[in-house]
Structure 1
């Protein structure tokens, strides 16, 4: 049970971290025509970051009620989503100027590859690497679900004990009290009291 909770928490937290990271500043830059620092958030750089992170959180919630087979399917999905989050983030790391091209065009009115030459300084935020970490945790969590998820106890299984006990004819104190209230004596061998007897 502890392994299950730890894995589900890791998957959910990875999705949450991805959401938070995507909403923060990713790239800071300065143009040769401007004398102030401009910033671009992760979700502005790539609009797919938020949906991927939300999908990871949703998968973590689904894992709490999924059966053994569906758990493995969700584990594969979580691992793929984590890999996608890493890929989306590394695209910004490799070429940040291309990632902010739309923002430069909005500021200058100039489009195309010429915008890159207008940037005199740029810097990546630590939130970029937080997104990479979120993706990596999701990948590891998904693999853990695929490997060990089949051994997790299904939700609600602990509540099956009472029906099994009743089916086996085991004594039930609550049922005995109900029988006494109805005028039956559960201590008798046949379990039925004299119809004319009235217990008050």
Structure 2
């Protein structure tokens, strides 16, 4: 009786291990097929991307492309300009500039790119909106070479009041936008909890 029990147990273990081995082989084969499938799908996506890059390059070179593709290429150009603006802003924060040829960040003081050797002009600092630039020492644009006080055109009190009234809403709007952008200090957040 004990002998039959152990024989039956041994046969059950053998069948189970053969079943598990067979299932493991099936799982392994299925995984190999899935990996090959994923590799082929990846290759198709890469070829599609290469085809798109060729079409975009043809568009940039001025070649003939369909109108639908031209619209997509124009949209790509818009996004590329936005990306360039973001790169310039990031480089500006770090005190660097972007090489126009290889698009790598280089030190602001260099005249030539250390990576590709292309000339790297230093971008002109942008003037903030509303900032008045004094041209040749003449603060007014009245056509006279003399400053406003010397030209015999003193400002009247009414003109000062009007200019203050027109400037005040712009300053208030600017102050409100700055306040909205500034995050709360950490201390205030802790106190509110």
Normalising by the smaller structure, the TM-score range is under 0.3
Highest RCO, 1 vs 2 (Cα 8 Å, sep ≥ 6)? 1
| The structure with more helix, counted as a fraction of residues | 1
TM-score (norm 1): 0.21
